[in-house]
A and B are shown apart, each in its own frame.
Chain A
Amino acid sequence: MSAASQETAVSAGRVTRAFIYLVLLLFALYYLLPLYVMAVNSVKPLPEITGGNMMSLPRTFTIEPWLSAWSTAQIGVEPTGLKPYFINSILMVAPAVAISTILGALNGYVLTKWRFKYDGIVFGLLLFSCFIPFQIVLIPMAVVLGKLGLAGSVPGLVLVHVVYGLGFTTLYYRNYYAAFPTELVRAAMIDGAGFFRIFWRILLPVSGPITVVSVIWQFTNIWNDFLFGVSFGGTRQPMTVALNNLVQSSTGVKEYNVHFAGAILAALPTLLVYIVAGRYFVRGLMAGSVKG
């Protein structure tokens, strides 16, 4: 989209434009304030928070709260800091994202290029699973994970996240591959290429943009999940659950600065992913959802 073709037909007056800028800036403030407050207060000593102004910059700068949040803060009953939970989250997120994305890509490929009778129903069933309230599966999942011996383990959480992420990844790849010319696939078939060779040589090389969408979507959702973590995490709880335990702990003095540092630590991976690849994510997502 070049600037010239994007010329807005509507031209507004000077006062209107000033008003528009004002509103846009006020909203920027609304979105930035909580992050600013967290960042600024995470490097203040506690007395400066309880006795001072949350908006002011730190008078004494300290990284003590960050160290404490990372390695010594009381999480539940153990003074372990958030570190072990951060590791749990990474061990859970990496395989869950990889497996659900690979399966989603293969499913999307089958559903668009190897169509069969009733494939529409299969896709419909996968699609609806994206939108169920997870409360409806909590009890059976607890029972099944218990039976499989996966309750309170990282593989258990990986399984849960793969299963409930499949609908989304399949949806993304299906919509993306649907726009890919089927003639090319046919031509390759006539030349004798098999199922996997076509996927590997023809579809996969053009799948970059949608893979970015799928990976970011899955990464953000799984990293940020709380419900499954708190229900099935057991002793291998993810970061979100640990952060909540840290913040809600009722014993002792509320160490706001440590809470803020912990919250930023929990947000950091998704924020980084978003900062690095966010533009591609939004672009890819919009291309899918607006055109249908």
Chain B
Amino acid sequence: MRPATDADFRTRLQDWLPKLVLAPSFAATLLFVYGFIVFTAVLSFTGSKMLPLYTFVGLENYRKLWALEHWHTALVNIAIFASCYIVICTAVGLMLAIFLDQKIRGEGMLRPIYLYPMALSFIVTGTAWKWFLDPGIGLEKTMRLWGWESFSFTWIKDSNMAIYTIVIAAVWQTSGFVMAMFLAGLRGIDNEILKAAQIDGATSFQLYRRIVIPLLRPAFLSAFVILSHLAIKSYDLVIALTGGGPGRATELPATFMYSYTFTRNQMGIGAASAVMMLMAIAAIMIPYLYSELKEKA
């Protein structure tokens, strides 16, 4: 009798064990991710100021948010930043990958040089570029000391151009990573296809435009998803490089959310802006993840 129940218990435990092992992670994700999303969404409909309050005000926060010029600045900035960042990173990454794929001597030296910025935090990246772009000690001064007296590069102090300094630093940090993705894609292409096309008389340019680049589609998609996700989350780089300034010239939704929630004590509006950010990312990520998972299944 005894051994039978014992074995029974053990097989039942074995049945449950996998789920038990997965349970803590799943529960933590449900609570800390999805529960918190709901929590923030609820707060966005309340009159929370410094602390969460549960007095519901309907869509008031969203109305206020969209009426704020500050928010519009952040949106224009993220549009400029995200599009420049994604396009330039992709272009630079693709170009470097194609060039590196031409049997380059010293490829083993160049690759780590292109890639290492990825290991640095945005705070370090921002600190480095902040001084490099500072007219008083950085590039401008150096050029003048080298004899180019009229050289001027004051974007970081110029409210119309400051957002592009964020692009320069962000491209510096990530483009090497994009290069690695494209390089992996290029190395995965069957050379027979290329040779066949060449025998048919295709020029290098045609070869890349018509055959290689279309074959890199998965790499383009991954790059786009990773870059847009990084762009919307960008917070630290702005803090370190410009602090959102000059004035509010480089404010992004991420910095907007932080300052409204934690320094201006407008938690309801901050929560509403976070919900807008989540919706933007979800619009990009959900179709991508859905197609990825479907393909694998």
Q: A interface vs B, CB < 8 Å?
A: 1, 5-10, 12, 17, 20-21, 23-24, 27-28, 30-35, 37-38, 41, 49-50, 52-55, 103, 106-107, 109-111, 114, 116, 120, 122-129, 131-141, 143-144, 162-164, 166-167, 170, 178, 194-196, 220, 223-227, 231, 240, 243-244, 247-248, 256, 259-260, 263, 266-267, 270-271, 273-275, 278, 282, 286, 289-290, 292
- For the complex, give the distance between the alpha carbons of A131 and B233 in Å: 9
- For the complex, give the distance between the alpha carbons of A275 and B96 in Å: 21
A37 lies within 8 A of B128 (CB): yes
A135 lies within 8 A of B297 (CB): no
Partner of B194, one of A5, A9, A20, A54: A9
B230 → chain A closest CB, angstroms: 10
Given A163-B28, A274-B116: A140 and B172 interface contact (C-beta under 8 Å): no
Given A20-B99, A122-B26, A226-B123: A136 and B128 interface contact (C-beta under 8 Å): no
A131 lies within 8 A of B281 (CB): yes
Residues of B within 8 A of A (CB-CB), count: 108
Residue picked from B14, B123, B204, B296, most chain A C-beta under 10 Å: B123
Given A54-B137, A122-B26, A290-B218: A23 and B198 interface contact (C-beta under 8 Å): no
- For the complex, give the distance between the alpha carbons of A55 and B142 in Å: 7
In the complex, residue of chain B having the shortest beta-carbon distance to the beta carbon of A241 = B123
Q: Could you say which residues of chain A place their CB within 8 Å of the CB of B87?
A: none
- For the complex, give the distance between the alpha carbons of A56 and B264 in Å: 44
Residue picked from B101, B110, B131, B240, most chain A C-beta under 10 Å: B131
B278 lies within 8 A of A267 (CB): no
A-B contact pairs, 26 of them (CB 8 A): A20-B102, A31-B113, A34-B132, A38-B128, A107-B25, A110-B19, A111-B22, A116-B18, A129-B33, A133-B232, A135-B253, A136-B37, A137-B40, A138-B257, A139-B270, A140-B39, A141-B36, A143-B39, A226-B236, A227-B258, A240-B123, A248-B243, A271-B119, A278-B112, A286-B181, A289-B184
Q: Tell me the chain B residues, 225-275 only, with Cβ under 8 Å from chain A.
A: 229, 232-233, 235-236, 239-240, 243, 253-254, 257-258, 261-262, 267, 270-271, 273-275
Q: Could you say which residues of chain A place their CB within 8 Å of the CB of B253?
A: 135
In the complex, residue of chain A having the shortest beta-carbon distance to the beta carbon of B262 = A231
In the complex, residue of chain B having the shortest beta-carbon distance to the beta carbon of A223 = B121
A163 lies within 8 A of B21 (CB): no
A290 → chain B closest CB, angstroms: 5
Q: A137-B40, A223-B121 given; name 16 further pairs at CB < 8 Å.
A: A23-B99, A24-B96, A53-B141, A128-B285, A131-B285, A133-B278, A134-B233, A135-B235, A136-B36, A162-B28, A195-B14, A195-B21, A256-B131, A267-B124, A278-B115, A292-B295
Q: Could you say which residues of chain B place their CB within 8 Å of the CB of A54?
A: 131-132, 137-138, 141-142
B18 lies within 8 A of A114 (CB): yes
- For the complex, give the distance between the alpha carbons of A114 and B21 in Å: 11
B127 lies within 8 A of A259 (CB): yes
